[in-house]
Homo-oligomer: A and B are copies of this chain.
Amino acid sequence: MGNKRMKLKVRHYNVDTSEPTVLMNDSDCVELGVKENDRVRVEGKGVATALVSRTDSLVKPGNILMPSNTMAMSKVKAGDTVSVEYSPAPDSVRSIRKKMDNEILNKDEIHGVVQDILDNKLSKIEISAWLTSLYINGMCIDEIADFTTAMVDTGERVNFDRKPVFDFHSMGGVPGNKITPIVVSIVAAAGLMLPKTSSRAISSACGTSDFVETFCNVSLDSERLKEVAEKTGGALAWGGAMHLAPVDDLVIKIEHPLGINPRAQMLASILSKKLAIGAEYLLIDIPMGKGTKVPTLEIARTYARDFMDLGEKLGMHIECAITYADQPVGAAIGPNLEARECIRILEGAEHPSSVAEKACDLAGIILEMGGIRNGAQRAKDLLDSGEAMKKFREIVRAQDGNYDIKSDDLKPGMYMAEIKSPKSGYIHAINNKNIVTIARTAGSPNDKGAGIILHHKKGQRVEEGSVLFEIYADNETKLKRAIEAAERHNPVDIEGMLIRHVMAPNVMR
Contact = CB atoms under 8 A, between A and B. Distances in A.
A100 interface: yes
A38 interface: yes
A125 B30 contact: no
A112 to B, nearest CB: 16
Interface string A110-142: 000000000000011111110111011100000
A53 B18 contact: yes
Interface in A238-254: 253-254
Contacts of A38: 256-257
Q: Which of A14, A37, A257, A484 has the most CB of B within 10 A?
A: A257
Interface in A53-71: 53, 55, 58, 65, 67
Q: Number of copies of this chain in the oligomer?
A: 2
Interface residues on A, range: 35 or more
A102 B94 CA distance: 24
A408 interface: no
A137 to B, nearest CB: 6
Interface in A23-73: 23, 30-31, 33, 35-38, 53, 55, 58, 65, 67
A178 interface: no
B124 A128 contact: yes
Nearest to A59: B15
B30 A23 contact: no
A446 interface: yes
B440 A33 contact: yes
Contact of A129 (B258, B446, B488): B258
A441 interface: yes
Contacts of A97: 258-260
A13 B14 contact: yes
Interface in A247-306: 253-254, 256-260
Given A15-B15, A125-B128, 6 more contacts: A1-B441, A1-B488, A13-B14, A37-B253, A123-B257, A132-B132
B58 A89 contact: no
Chain A to chain B: the 8 pairs with minimum beta-carbon distance, closest first: A128-B128, A132-B132, A36-B253, A125-B128, A13-B15, A37-B257, A129-B132, A1-B484
A352 interface: no
A102 to B, nearest CB: 7
